[in-house]
Amino acid sequence: MKHHRAHLLVCAGTGCVSCGAFDVKTALKKEIERRGLADEILVVATGCNGFCEKGPIVLVRPDDIFYQRLSVDDIPLLVEEHLIKGRPVARLMYTPPADTKPVPKMADIEFFRHQRLIVLRNRGRIDPEKIEEYIAYDGYQAMAKALTEMTPEEIIAEISASGLRGRGGAGFPTGKKWDLCRKEKASPKYLICNGDEGDPGAFMDRSVLEADPHAVLEGMVIAARAISAARGFIYIRNEYPLAIQRLDIAIRSAREFGLLGENILGSGFDFDVEIVRGAGAFVSGEETALIASIEGQRAAPRQRPPYPAQSGLWGQPTTINNVETWANVPSIIRRGAAWFAGLGTETSKGTKVFSLVGKINNTGLVEVPMGIRLDEIVNNIGGGIPNGRKFKAVQIGGPSGGCIPTELLDLPVDYESLTRAGAMMGSGGMIVMDEDTCMVDIALYFLRFTQEESCGKCAPCRIGTRRMAEILAGIAAGEGRPGDIEKLEELAWTVKRGSLCGLGQTAPNPVLSTLRYFRDEYRAHIEDKTCPARVCKNLISFAIDPEKCVGCLLCLKACPVNAIAGERKKVHVIDQALCIKCGACFTACPVKIGAVSKLTGEKGRALVPEATRATTS
Amino acid sequence: MTKKLTIQDLAAMRDKTRSLTVLRDGAGRAKVTVHMGTCGIAAGARDIMETLLEEIRSRGLQDVIVTTSGCAGLCNREPMATVEIKDQPPVKYVRLTPDKMRRVIAEHVLDGRIVAEYALAVGSETMY
């Protein structure tokens, strides 16, 4: 590495890569060479920058100029204007949703301004494939300290004092987990990193592994020393090829530098890790199922206790933590428990990484202090709801979590508050929903997911989730009967209490939380046969307002089943018998004309021809 | 490199690489901005930039950030550069030549003595 006058940090997380980040990087390098600037300007591929919505992203340092949604065609102009003439290109900068003026500096962009980075401190800053860059930002210093200056008891005391709790979802105190394992007499002991992230809409673990794989490795070596383990395993689902590739490079370079393997840093301590690829089954995220999978068996959970700390991998004491938990460890050891505990709430310390997705302007990965109000995440960082729609709920914690409604937007985000509100920290997926979301439909979506992912070992989960999904599907189809809600609730509590593992115990949460906050919506489906959000196909219909229709043919052309009749400049009509309710006509009709409307209830039913009405209502 | 590191090696590697990545944090001890508007480039700002980077390289300076900006508004005094030492007001140098640039680095950037005879004034335009 040489001294350069500018570093161009190209985001190479999966999100940006899929939008063409590698092509942008190649174009940048080519243009810089063509202009004879190769000695002055360095192009660096970094891990996920977080602002996935705006990819491909390039950050120019030291100027701190944030360029977004770049294409290969933008590159010559960018190099000429910014790097040669020193005039940052306003056209390629980020403009907030409610504004017309771009915000040039990354530090001034709302999305980044409210974040506090511990786990993601190196995101968008270092090249994750170069161990020297991790070392440059104090990498492996905590490990050196733990190996040479601290006893295992001191390491565990530090982690306990920090208040760090498991970031995989349940929030078990990390120090306590390690201590239980350390006290076990049996040998050998093992360490596992749980990188099986399967929640719909969640990508925290993937991004951490892609952006800063060494942080996870360093955390594991520190724990290995604390519980005296010599071998560790990192379990990642095979759908995460870039994470696996970067981690593989990290492991090999750490071995080369003597930071993994025998006699680490000359301290006499030996520890090595290997990657285990999972086939991508949601139940593998459950720790006993994950252990079975590493052992080469089918990923089915088993009864606890004994806990993995007592009897885990191959019956040996095993410490298993989530990717994000491991990535927190080096900073705590290096900067001290008090520093970490200084951020967060009484019972939830430090920060939490969330993947912010759904109906939100700024989709991406965010790290925020524990205790931040939900409203700040949704409106300040997330930039609110697009297209002028209203916020309805946010689903936190994926299929294991629940929906938090508008009334609770003031809720502080910590383990206890979320659980009290009927949701769950989970691994940190946050799916924002607007007024066009039907809560029955959402509950059904998550329940079908868990039902399909259930391993089938225990009856409550196998049969219970299936029955619940059937009832929900009936309600959504307009076939709900009085008593369905009570039946759903009874089943939900049975599945929750009777299931063997976390998957079944949390599977009913989306149903229970939507019933808690949106019971009226269920009732509307069952009693009035209406879908207030106008989503459930059997309960809605589309109609063209003859007063507003200008006969532009747009809806007619968009209809995939030729259900619309009409001629240019003449009023169009939808044949309800042919309509499949895909909504293509609704989308196609220009907003300012607004002739197509989505109806539910009496009005909608009136459109259905007499002959078919008997069967659909 | 297949070297097994010791703790001392680790610290040395951190310090060395850190100095090369310092500009990613936007904070060095000193920052030199070469004004590269059309006028600046026409007057030879590129030579100034090359001299600057060459000096930094050959002297092994690791805490100096070099950046560019557009026209500073005094086109008849180009090429120009602004030197900012941490916690001190920026100083603008005008009608630079490679030799003058070398002297500014030696005296102002390294020793902290402003080269008054090349300086225009103390102050800087607001940049983003």
State whether residue B7 sits within 8 Å of chain A by CB. Answer: yes
Burial B58-85 (b: 16+ CB within 10 A, else e): eeebbebbbbbbbbbebeebbbbbbbbb
CB count within 10 Å of CB A557 equals: 11
Q: Which residue from A87, A136, A266 is facing B6, i.e. has the nearest CB?
A: A266
pLDDT on residue A255:
97
Cβ atoms of A313 and A192 closer than 8 Å: yes
Report the alpha-carbon angle A376-A62-B91, nearest 5: 120
User: Can you say whether the dihedral through the CA atoms of A155, A156, A160, A161 is positive or negative?
Assistant: negative
State whether residue B8 sits within 8 Å of chain A by CB. Answer: no
Name which of A135, A140, A143 to mutate to probe chain B: the one with the most chain B Cβ atoms within 10 A of its Cβ. Answer: A135
Query: What residue of A is the nearest CA neighbor of B27?
Result: A62
Task: Tell me how far apart the alpha carbons of residues A280 and A293 are, in angstroms, rounded to a whole number.
Answer: 11
Q: Which residues of chain B have pLDDT under 50?
A: 1, 123-128
Chain B contact set for A9 (CB, 8 A): 24
Indicate left, alpha or beta for A348 from its phi (over 0: left) and psi (-120 to 50: alpha). Answer: beta
State whether residue B35 sits within 8 Å of chain A by CB. Answer: yes
Task: Tell me how far apart the alpha carbons of residues A256 and A266 are, in angstroms, rounded to a whole number.
Answer: 13
Q: With CB atoms and an 8 Å threshold, state whether B128 touches A141.
A: no
Task: Tell me how far apart the alpha carbons of residues B79 and B68 are, in angstroms, rounded to a whole number.
Answer: 12
Please return the burial class of B51, using the count of CB atoms within 10 Å of its CB with bins 0-12, 13-18 and 19+: buried
Report the alpha-carbon angle A402-A406-A408, nearest 5: 70
pTM of the complete model: 0.89
Cβ atoms of A51 and A114 closer than 8 Å: no
Indicate left, alpha or beta for A256 from its phi (over 0: left) and psi (-120 to 50: alpha). Answer: alpha
**A104, A108, A109, A112: CA torsion to nearest 10:** 130
Identify the three-state secondary structure at position B121.
strand
Q: Which residues of chain A have pLDDT under 50?
A: 615-617
Q: With CB atoms and an 8 Å threshold, state whether B10 touches A64.
A: no
Average pLDDT of chain A is 93
The minimum CA-CA distance between A427 and chain B, rounded to whole Å, is 30
**Alpha helix segments (H runs only) across A355-410:** 374-375
Can you give the C-alpha Rg of chain B in angstroms? Answer: 16
Structure tokens at A65: 């100029």
Q: With CB atoms and an 8 Å threshold, state whether B128 touches A133.
A: no
The minimum CA-CA distance between B119 and chain A, rounded to whole Å, is 21
Q: With CB atoms and an 8 Å threshold, state whether A5 touches B3.
A: no
All residues at 6 or more sequence positions from A282 whose CB lies less than 8 Å from its CB, including other chains: A198, A199, A399, A449, A450, A453, A503
Task: Tell me how far apart the alpha carbons of residues A313 and A295 are, in angstroms, rounded to a whole number.
Answer: 7
All residues at 6 or more sequence positions from A151 whose CB lies less than 8 Å from its CB, including other chains: none
Strand partners, A237: A278
Task: Tell me how far apart the alpha carbons of residues A362 and A378 are, in angstroms, rounded to a whole number.
Answer: 9
The minimum CA-CA distance between A47 and chain B, rounded to whole Å, is 15
The minimum CA-CA distance between A99 and chain B, rounded to whole Å, is 19
Q: How far is CA A131 from the centre of its chain?
A: 26
Strands (E), A375-428: 391-396, 402-405
Name which of B7, B47, B56 to mutate to probe chain A: the one with the most chain A Cβ atoms within 10 A of its Cβ. Answer: B7
In terms of Cα–Cα distance, which of B65, B68, B70, B73 is closest to B48? Answer: B68
Kindly state the DSSP code that residue B106 receives in the 8-state scheme.
Answer: I
Q: With CB atoms and an 8 Å threshold, state whether A136 touches B17.
A: yes
All residues at 6 or more sequence positions from A87 whose CB lies less than 8 Å from its CB, including other chains: A81, B37, B69, B70
Q: With CB atoms and an 8 Å threshold, state whether A140 touches B65.
A: no
A307 phi and psi angles, rounded to 5 deg: -80, 155
Q: With CB atoms and an 8 Å threshold, state whether A61 touches B38.
A: no
State whether residue B58 sits within 8 Å of chain A by CB. Answer: no
Q: With CB atoms and an 8 Å threshold, state whether A86 touches B38.
A: no
The minimum CA-CA distance between B70 and chain A, rounded to whole Å, is 5
Name which of B5, B18, B36 to mutate to probe chain A: the one with the most chain A Cβ atoms within 10 A of its Cβ. Answer: B5
Interface size between A and B, measured as CB pairs under 8 A: 118
CB count within 10 Å of CB B102 equals: 16
Task: Tell me how far apart the alpha carbons of residues A247 and A238 are, in angstroms, rounded to a whole number.
Answer: 13
pLDDT on residue B26:
64
Task: Tell me how far apart the alpha carbons of residues B124 and A613 are, in angstroms, rounded to a whole number.
Answer: 77
State whether residue B13 sits within 8 Å of chain A by CB. Answer: yes
Q: Is the peptide bond before A305 cis (omega within 30 degrees of 0)?
A: yes
- Give percent of chain B with pLDDT exceeding 90: 15
Chain B contact set for A88 (CB, 8 A): 128
Chain A contact set for B7 (CB, 8 A): 144, 148, 265-266
Q: With CB atoms and an 8 Å threshold, state whether A137 touches B18.
A: yes
Q: B7-43: per-residue pLDDT in tens?
A: 999 999 998 888 777 767 766 778 888 888 778 888 8
**A81, A84, A86, A91: CA torsion to nearest 10:** 20
| CA diameter of chain B | 57
Q: Which residue from A85, A125, A133 is facing B36, i.e. has the nearest CB?
A: A85
pLDDT on residue B1:
47
Structure tokens at A14: 């999966």
